[in-house]
Chains A and B, each alone.
Chain A
């Protein structure tokens, strides 16, 4: 029995934490709200220099060829800092898809840049009916001679303003599941980006309109009309990673709550001595450790391709989401009046929790997926 990250992984966590703390931790997110990511590439490059963005990329494309568990420390630290940007989307959704389903040409042209931290990917999936099922995909990509023409509108596209590439979920045929994933270079014209406002201002979402945008057929990722199936694979690694990020955020929340409960005095004693406060924090801690165990196991199951990986990953996502929201909410209460202000970080964590709650898949759908995976 050995259920823990290994020494190198913990060591690496230390480097990443030190780096993000030196950049002011949540200051990065706060800057992002103001400049929409202008100052952010420097941070992304900094993380890449530490090696973060090359961890799970094959050696022949400039990566370290390590597994999901090696990403865990990085993701937890990113979660603690509420890091904006597209690390999650690029490295845990698009990289595994490229590695597993990309053509040699695609891999050669995208992976080395990702490894070096030079390019990021976003994911354009949802449309105006907010339907995560195949039937929700109306945006068309049809073949004309030697190119693919994309027409339609995507909404809630994360960080469209800074992404170098978009993976667009598009309808390529008549059948319900005739869906393909198309890689679009943002430098192409015929694309309008309209920013949308959300409660988590440290993440940007946009409506993106594709107007007769033309790409070569070589930009299709995976088999044509087979996009839906491979997307499910990609979502497994994405969700294992997302759970881990949320664990990282929750970890920081518990730390904040403990710190505050130790220094804030009322009635002549630290508020952490009051059990109404103490026990609430303990419950947050218990949730945190449970979420962490589930997330570690999810990543282990992913890395080892175990039979129970779908349920392990889905369950981790469901529980980590809940734990994150609960902890973030309680943290505000524990901080009292100051917790309700923009001044301290409490609200940032709550908003991020809600941002992730239904991110790339609805809670309800994940419940259903878990039940099905369990054979219920």
Chain B
């Protein structure tokens, strides 16, 4: 066992840390919700990252990346969390669409999109879910019909994160009605800035606006916008999901940080003249939470070790996703009850959003987005434990 980082990895960390100290926008504060959602600010940040050589470190050098190793990506996530850097606006582009295009995109597609993803010039979203296709993703009904070298797309997408600021969408549409649902799906790189695409905001339960409904009325895409083969989009989608190798890492480190914040809160807040952390009930709950979040981090390291050895990630990613999102939810739930009535205030004394109540509300999305906890449990049960498969159509 070895938890240390190589000299090279430490140098990498130091280089990034120094860069962040110099370039993190001075007026950026984590609690300042004004910037958290400001697309102009976030696009600029993406550009800044790109110019510093930190835009997409895992990408090959020839596309503007650094050929980063998995460990370097992990360090990158750790340092971003540590510095409380703004969350990336082009996550979908950098981590999912970009790598997929490098694998199976055409030369023209690479030429046209990769650079702009990096600079923040073009922001991407993913158009999978529909009103009647969430967990059952292959049930999508949005249709694309061929018309010469054009495709006419009709239907509706939902929960499209960043759809309102996105320039392009990685869109799944049905191009054929085969018996097997996952056949006959095609992936399009859709231009969001066209007449046939209309986005409407959906306001989340924490009052924020990340995701949207997207209405497609005779929207247009061209043959050149298809990724991979017509009707073979399911495979492309699976390939894309495999690229998301560090997403959980970022969450694990964020959870670690959030737990530390909770400890600070419990030490500083008082009840009857005594810090909350001294209250035996709170102490016990905090220890239980600590054990679980610490365990989730170590679990993640153990799975990471496996990935490093095998060269590819296994189904254990589902386990990490399930654990981390569930603990996050419990952590913020604890933060609310622990504070007594004060816990439900949505603004702090200085008029800013309360970190606690806002994150508490936000945490409900985490066990749903990216595949619900139930779906993760199905995956773990079937792929890791070898239990019988759910009945499917």
Contact = CB atoms under 8 A, between A and B. Distances in A.
Interface of A: 1-6, 69, 254, 258, 261-262, 269-270, 272-273, 275, 278-279, 281-283, 285-286, 289-294, 296-297, 300, 315, 318-319, 367-368, 370-371, 374, 376
Interface of B: 1-3, 5, 71, 74, 263, 266-267, 277-278, 283-284, 286-288, 290-292, 294-296, 298-299, 301-302, 304-306, 308-309, 319, 322-323, 374, 377-378, 380-381, 384-391
A286 B387 contact: no
Given A296-B1, A376-B278, 20 more contacts: A1-B2, A1-B308, A2-B2, A3-B3, A3-B301, A6-B1, A258-B387, A272-B388, A273-B389, A279-B381, A282-B381, A290-B295, A290-B296, A296-B302, A297-B298, A300-B1, A318-B287, A319-B295, A374-B290, A376-B267
Contacts of B295: 290-291, 293-294, 319
A272 B381 contact: yes
A4 B302 contact: yes
Nearest to B308: A1
Contacts of B267: 376
Contacts of A300: 1, 3
Contact of B1 (A4, A282, A371): A4
A316 B182 CA distance: 44
Given A4-B1, A285-B384, A294-B295, A279 B374 contact: yes
Given A262-B387, A281-B387, A296 B263 contact: no
B388 A376 contact: no
- Secondary structure at the B interface, as helix, strand, loop or mixed, is helix
B388 A269 contact: yes
A370 B289 CA distance: 12
B2 A282 contact: no
Contact of A1 (B263, B284, B305, B319): B305
A291 B386 CA distance: 21
28 contacts: A1-B2, A1-B3, A1-B308, A3-B2, A4-B306, A6-B1, A262-B386, A270-B388, A272-B387, A272-B388, A273-B388, A273-B389, A278-B387, A281-B387, A282-B377, A286-B380, A290-B298, A293-B298, A294-B295, A296-B302, A300-B1, A319-B291, A367-B287, A368-B283, A371-B287, A374-B287, A374-B290, A376-B263
Contacts of B263: 374, 376
Given A69-B1, A278-B387, A281-B385, A376 B378 contact: no
**A interface: dominant SS:** helix
A267 to B, nearest CB: 12
B1 A258 contact: no
B390 A1 contact: no
Nearest to B6: A1
A166 B184 CA distance: 73
A5 B309 CA distance: 13
A376 B296 CA distance: 21
Nearest to A374: B290
Contacts of A296: 1, 298, 302
Contacts of A4: 1, 302, 305-306, 309
B292 to A, nearest CB: 7
Contacts of B302: 3-4, 289, 292-293, 296
A290 B288 CA distance: 12
Contacts of A262: 386-388
